[in-house]
Amino acid sequence: MIAQASWFTGRVELEGRGSAPSRRWSSYPLTITVLPEAGSVAQSTATRTDGKGLFVWLSPPSGTFNLSVKGAHTLSSMRERVSVPADTIVDFGLLREGDADGDDQITDADFTLLAAAYGSQRDQPGWDGRVDFNGDDAIGAADFSLLSASYGMSGPVLVGPKGSPSVTRRPALAGTMELWLEPARRLIDQDEMVDLFVQIRADWQAVGRRRRGDCVRSHHSAGGRR
């Protein structure tokens, strides 16, 4: 007697990597977790996406489970009461980038890792692949924007019947605001153009129409502001 293999096929949307199919969508590492019921232990397995965000889970357990899918540096997405194996492709929706330290939260700890590697490229000193959120082999403003967009969120993010996430943000809190320049000091020649980043750390406060973590770019020269 030959046993027939079973499998489970799912789909995710990768944030900040352009439209699928794409090379930057291919081979993205995922962790699938069967979320435990009372008195049981979570079971996890590793897989990877193809260029369209599809992934396969080979020889899964049979039953109805709450399942979460987490990317290498994303928040996890969860669907409740999923039948395994499934006859159709199960959509886990958008995986939100920004969880550099892998704790399923996007917080100051992730921001600190990004700031330490900011401006670096693969194979350069300071490079940290955990904060290359858009997969372009460079740590820059695009990665900063992805983290800022989901700052304060935590997983698992519950996904609705059609793959749409249900997201809850933390309430705004009162507090102080910090403002600093990057670079803090630099000598420049007459009429030399430089980039100055004004970084704002305001915790949960609104700062005009900008979110915490947004950058303001300004051009200056030795002769004055332009």
For the chain, domain boundaries: 7-164, 178-225
Which element (helix H / strand E) includes 58?
A: strand 54-58
Task: State the Cα–Cα distance between residues 107 and 193, nearest whole angstrom.
Answer: 33
Tokens of 225: 């502001």
Q: What tokens does 107 get?
A: 């917080």
36 falls in which pLDDT band (50, 70, 90)?
confident
* Contact residues for 213 (Cβ-Cβ < 8 A; gap 6+): 111, 144, 147, 148, 151, 199, 200, 201
The predicted pLDDT at position 171 comes to: 40
The CATH class that applies to domain 7-164 reads: mainly beta
Residue 20 burial (CB count, 10 A): 17
Helices (H), ranges, the chain: 108-117, 141-149
Residue 140, token pair as written in the block: 């820059």
**Are residues 56 and 9 in contact, defined by beta-carbon separation less than 8 angstroms?**
yes
Cis peptide before 29 (omega within 30 of 0): no
pLDDT, averaged across the chain: 80
Q: How far is CA 145 from CA 84, 97, 122, 132, 215, in A?
A: 36, 10, 19, 12, 9
Q: How much is the pLDDT for 160?
A: 77
**pLDDT level of residue 177 (50, 70, 90 thresholds):** low
Question: Among 56-60, 113-117, 144-148, 211-215, which is the least confidently predicted range?
Answer: 211-215
137, pLDDT greater than 80: yes
| The predicted structure's pLDDT at residue 39 | 54
Confidence of residue 67 (pLDDT cuts 50, 70, 90): very high
Cα–Cα dist 87/14, whole Å: 23
User: 9-13, 113-117, 163-167: which range is least confident on average?
Assistant: 163-167
> Where is 219: in which H helix or E strand?
strand 215-221
